[in-house]
Copies of this chain bind each other. A is one copy, B any other.
Amino acid sequence: MVLLDGKKTSEDLKIEIAKAVTKLKSEGKKTPHLAAILVGSDGASMTYVNGKVKACERVGFNSTLVELPKDTTEEILLENIERLNNDDDIDGFIVQLPLPKHIDEQKVLMVINPDKDVDGFHPTNVGRMTLDLPCYLPATPFGILELLERYKVETSGKDVVVIGRSHIVGRPMSILMSQKRAAGNATVTVAHSRSKNLKEVTLKADIIVAALGIPEFLTGDMVKDGVTIIDVGITRVPDETRKRGYRLAGDVHFESVSPKSAFITPVPGGVGPMTIAMLMKNTLLACQRKS
């Protein structure tokens, strides 16, 4: 069993990105600049955004954090987006989700200039991804492809099962892995809450991407020997034996699945760290595209 070490791989990636930034600077070119808009001060969102700002420092990007109060109107938020759309120094920006309930998330995402949409959530980017045209891939799927590629996990002609059909993970993963591309060319099945005989489906899979958000859903009896497991879930599960009162659980029951696995991502330290690294990669691409 080989651990797909997202922590280490994301560090490698950040080093590569930092080198690319140094090169850009030495050539007198523009320094990549990522901005993030945070509305309100939800704990998890702040942690995520701060992680992104730190990653920018780490790779030598400029970063701008736009903090707006929780009661910001949709109008003010849209004005801020328009400002970033029009600011030539900003190569890419993200609006940290979720947004407060009085704001229409879809409307907000639609206003972001697709050329600066480094999260890859805008319909134009999603469409370009679906059509296999150059685009910003959403960070989590992009990170999974990168992990599979760097660990040389064979995907061509393999049976892949993606559990979950979310817009940000399950759907793009299923599309990308069945395209003609690196970490692609697989026979991909999308399973979800309405699927029947799920165990029958997962038992045949060479690769399983678990992205349904139910802790420890996938158990050892549901997978075949030699399977590769990508665990996208990360849930806080109450645990009194831990000082902080909880532990982080993936969608995969690691203890029973890992002995049967050829490759498996740990939680934490698997898919999670890759996501921020790929956001940096998208921002670098956005900057390079302009020069």
Let me know if B189 and A187 touch, CB within 8 A: yes
For A, the interface residue count at a CB cutoff of 8 angstroms equals 35
Let me know if B127 and A130 touch, CB within 8 A: yes
Bound-state CA distance A131–B201 (Å) is: 25
Let me know if B196 and A192 touch, CB within 8 A: no
Residue A122 lies at the interface, judged by CB distance under 8 Å to chain B: yes
Let me know if A190 and B178 touch, CB within 8 A: yes
User: Assembly of this chain: how many copies?
Assistant: 2
Report chain B residues within 8 Å CB of A123. 123-124, 127-128, 130-131, 133
Bound-state CA distance A157–B180 (Å) is: 28
Q: Is the interface of A mostly helix, strand, loop or mixed?
A: mixed
Residue A188 lies at the interface, judged by CB distance under 8 Å to chain B: yes
CB distance from A7 to the nearest CB of B (A): 31
Nearest 8 A-B pairs (CB), nearest first?
Answer: A127-B127, A123-B127, A126-B127, A189-B189, A187-B195, A185-B194, A157-B196, A178-B190
Give 25 CB contacts A-B under 8 Å. Answer: A106-B133, A122-B127, A123-B123, A123-B133, A126-B126, A126-B127, A126-B130, A126-B131, A127-B127, A127-B128, A127-B129, A129-B130, A130-B171, A130-B175, A132-B167, A156-B194, A157-B194, A157-B195, A174-B190, A180-B194, A185-B194, A187-B189, A187-B190, A187-B191, A187-B192
